[in-house]
Each structure stands twice: as structure tokens, then as C-alpha cells.
Structure 1
């Protein structure tokens, strides 16, 4: 259980410190699976097979939102609808209008849905009720929003807010690269993206950030929108201008520590989750500090 992409939200500290009560509320909107004519179904699933809807370890909670989607390409619907329209035209000797064609496509969609393949996907979120974090593991902002929206629907109250910091990530990253100096506890790595006001962008991959060329880009007004960094030689990641953490990678020392413990899959899962949440919580504290601190609500 190692998260890879982090969308960061704030909850009040010591919020709803009862995992069983939270699980009971999530239980009202569990994944039911797609019925014959349903194109999609969404709901909470247990993070571990046979487990609770809220997987709790050391007062850290893991939630998983499951989604089932029918795979029915529009091109297939269009082809079947076209064949049906031709049959009607030949049988009745008339042309099919646009409105009727849309109705035929809707009929074909309902007819084909029971035969469509089903794709399953899931999005996980971690709640730290003590320190007030909600962290959603998703590379897609839309899927993170989907998770958050379903959580709002499931809970009686969810006082969640997007994390806001004093200094914008772009301004901070631009300053770090221009000065060639990372904040305390961090190092600058070799992936970088800069963007100008007219949206023109320059990207460097596996490229030293110490050259005059990069500083020249900054001098002409480009700002840093993505920057690869490493925290305390333990976690590498890419920070972007939306304060999202991408490509989170836990370095070998952490995974070796996890692999050396636990006698079975369940124990190893809990150890991984404990190590991940502990390390990421410290990373987030240091990152917020590097960005000037959190904006008071």
C-alpha cells in the first residue's frame, strides 16, 4: 500500500475519531455493481478483501472507492444504430430523421449494455484524523474530485478544505531553482518544467538544473510549474504548481524496512500502510513549512 499521486485536503484536527462510525456511514453507499442496463456503478469497497470499509491502523484510516463501468464504445452503438435505421428505411420506405436516429441510438445503447464488458477501477484515500489530513491517491484531478464528491454524499458532515499555503508553489519553486538551493530537508532533482505567460513551456528531463540556460529562462519571465525533488533521501516526488504531488516514490531503504517485517500478507499490508502514512505526514509538514506555512482558515 504505497500511494503514488497525492491530492491534499485539510480536515479539522481530531476530526471524527471513530472509525466504526465512519464505516457505518460509508455503508449507506457501497458499490452494488452494474445492473443489466446500468452504464456505471460507484460506491465504497473494503480496502482489503473481507475487511471493513475503513481499514484502521494506528489511528490512520484507509478508504477505497470502487467504480464499475461498462465498456461500450460510441462507434459500436453508432454502427448497430445505423444497421437498425437501414432496416426501418427498407421495410417502411422512408428516411430516418435526426430525432428518430437519436432515439434509435438510445435504444441500441440499452440493448447492448447487458452484453458490454465491465471495467473495474478504484481510488484510495487516507484520513489522518489526528493531524487533520485527507490525502487522495490519484493522478487524475477528476478522479480525486469523484472520490471527494462521494465522500460528501456519504457523510453527515465533511468539513474538508483544499490545502492553502502562504507562498504559491510556482513562486517558491522558481526561487529554489533560480538560487540553486532547495529548502531544508529537500534536494532538487533533474526534472523540471517552466512556463511563460503565453503558455509556452520548456521541459527538462534528467538534466542538471545548474546551467545558465535555465536561469536565463527564469530571467525572461518563465516560472517553474513542475519540479522533481527528494525529501531526506527517503521519498522522491514531483511537485506541481497546483500543490499536487506526483510520481511519489519511496526509496529502497523504506521498502527494505517494510519487507523485513510481517509474517503474512495482512501484516505486511499494515506495516506498509503504517510506514507510508508516517513518512508522508512528516514530508507534508516539511513541505508546508518550505512553502511559508499554512494559510489560517
Structure 2
């Protein structure tokens, strides 16, 4: 269910918040692209069954799914059609269209090609722990996570979502763990990491399926290369890759964690309960390993090196005075 995640803080939800969220998501329900529509986004039933709830509450955990559909028109086709249009205008009028007219012609070409274009879809799972105050977006792309957060805030008026910041940056902690070979309790270092130089050389060293308890890695760190990702395992139950921005990627639930769960008739419920149960324990342990969560109102120093990506808090009031997030480029989606 979750392969990559970005974790946020959300105010604990009480009372009829679940009903309000369901009603809010229903107003932004996903609809496929129209004939001349290039992109569409909205909420779909996470269980995959038509007319099912848009928010599934499983063991007190709220599960949602955000869908994006985009028309795929190859740039080479657009350019060829545009060149044909321009050549025709030059032949008929003896003049070459200017920059503004060429831009308008390109938009017109794209509009004519859209009804014939194939569509691709990408779904992003979303999880809210209403009691603990976690919002987890199943993506490794900040642009997609921003779009999901904005859509969620729009659906649940009054809610505030903020990124996580920790007392110690993930990059600093990963450096300490690699040098000392002494990861925090409950965690072990696996066989994958990436080190990147902070100087103008931007040199990168990657290790894959390689022991990391070697002097060579310590030497790279002493020379100024810092870890940007490190493979870890938590409690022999979940393996993952931690990034410098505190993204949790390549999540793999190890043997035994899902034993028998997906074979049950209610496989969705079992998968969701086990996934949220494991991640609901991993995230607090990871925060503790990074020195604990930054207190509300605390400012990380430097911001770009601490915890989650430094994006501003989002509230429903912000949406009234700003445009919606533009279409992202998401490495999780097929477009």
C-alpha cells in the first residue's frame, strides 16, 4: 500500500471530522479527462469499489486515494503539426508567424490532438491517524505531496498541515551512524547508500548491495561527502531508505509481517491495518533516532537540512487567496 512516504503533522481530529472529510472529498471526486482536457485530479474510492466511501476507517485509521489522469501527447507530434501549420501560413501569406502567434498555434494544435491522445493514471495513497496527528502521503515527490495536501486541506476546512522537523537533520544523523557503525536502537544499517559532495564538484558515490562498514565510506565523509540516502531496517520488520530530506522510500515489509493477511477475504482491511500499524510505530522511533520532533513553533537551523522538506504550513484559509497547486511531475506516477 505504501512504498514511499512523506510524513506531516496534522491537528488531531475529533467528533464528526470523518463525516465532514467524506463530504469534502465528495466535492472533489475524480472524473476522467474530457475530450479537450489535458489533466484531471481528484479523490477515488481507496477500496477500488464503485460507490464505496472515499474515506475508509480501518482500526481508527483513515485511508484515502488521490488519482491523477493525464493525456499523453508526444512532443514530437506537436512540433511536427506546428511546423506544418507554420509552413502553410508562410506559403499562403508570405510571412512567418511571430512568437506570440506561434505560441497560440501550438496551443491550438495541442487542443486538437488531445481527443486522440492516450491517458495515463497514477494513484497516491493517503493515510491520516486522527488521534496521533499524522498525515502520510504515499509519494516520494514533493510536488505530488503538495498537491495532495492542498486537496485535503480544501476538503476539510479549518485543518492545518505542517511538515515534520527534527532536532537533528537526517543527513547529520546518517553521517554519525555510518562513521560510528552504531545505529540507534531498533535500527540496523543495510547495504545501500549515496554520498554527495557539497562543493562545486557535486561528486556522487553510490553503494548498492555492498557492506557499508568499511573505512572507504568514513574517508568519503571526512573529505566532505555527506549521505543523501541510507538503507535501514527497523526491528527486522520493515526495510526502507531514508533520504536527507527525511523522505522514507523503498518501504518493504519483511517476511512474516503480512503472513496470511492478504489471503483473507478482507485483504484490503488487513493490508491497511498492518501497514499503518507498522509505520505508526516506525515513524515515532525514527523521530526519536533523529533527536525528537522539533517543538511547535521551533525553527530548524538550517531549515533546508532538517527533517521534511521545508514547505510552509497549509490551512484552508490560504486556499481562498491563492491558486491551486500546479500539476506536478511525480516520480511515483507513470507520467
TM-score class, shorter: over 0.9
Match of 1:207, SS? coil
Match of 1:112, SS? helix
Deviation string, structure 1 residues 159-200 (Cα, Å, up to 9, x no partner):
111011111111111111111111101111111112222132
Partner of 1:251: 254
Match of 2:210, SS? coil
Alignment of structure 1 residues 74-153 onto 2, 5 Å = 74-153=75-154
Partner of 2:234: 231
Please, which runs of 5 or more residues in structure 2 have no aligned partner?
Answer: 297-335
Match of 1:131, SS? coil
* Distance change in 2, residues 1:92/1:220 (3 Å): closer
Match of 1:254, SS? coil
How many residues are paired up?
292
- Aligned mates of 1:150, 1:242 — CA distance in 2: 23
CA drift of 1:149 comes to 1.9
CA drift of 1:280 comes to 0.6
- Of stretches 105-114 and 283-292 in structure 1, the one that deviates more from structure 2 is 105-114
- Aligned mates of 2:260, 2:170 — CA distance in 1: 32
Match of 1:160, SS? strand
Please identify runs of 4+ aligned residues in structure 1 that moved more than 6 A.
Answer: none
Task: Determine if contact 1:15/1:132 at 8 Å carries over to the other structure.
Answer: no
Match of 1:37, SS? coil
Partner of 1:72: 73
* Distance change in 2, residues 1:63/1:76 (3 Å): same
- Aligned mates of 2:285, 2:106 — CA distance in 1: 54
1:42 aligns with 2:41: yes
Task: Determine if contact 1:16/1:129 at 8 Å carries over to the other structure.
Answer: no
Alignment of structure 1 residues 24-43 onto 2, 5 Å = 24-43=23-42
Partner of 2:182: 181
- Aligned mates of 1:223, 1:278 — CA distance in 2: 32
Partner of 1:201: 204
CA drift of 1:29 comes to 1.1
Q: Which has the higher helix share?
A: 1
* Distance change in 2, residues 1:97/1:200 (3 Å): same
- Aligned mates of 1:78, 1:14 — CA distance in 2: 50
Please, which runs of 5 or more residues in structure 1 have no aligned partner?
Answer: none
- Aligned mates of 1:45, 1:16 — CA distance in 2: 24
Task: Determine if contact 2:20/2:156 at 8 Å carries over to the other structure.
Answer: no
Task: Determine if contact 2:232/2:241 at 8 Å carries over to the other structure.
Answer: yes
Calculate the aligned-residue CA RMSD, in Å.
Answer: 1.7
Match of 1:256, SS? coil
- Aligned mates of 2:16, 2:111 — CA distance in 1: 44
CA drift of 1:14 comes to 4.1
TM-score (norm 2): 0.83
Match of 2:258, SS? helix
TM-score (norm 1): 0.93
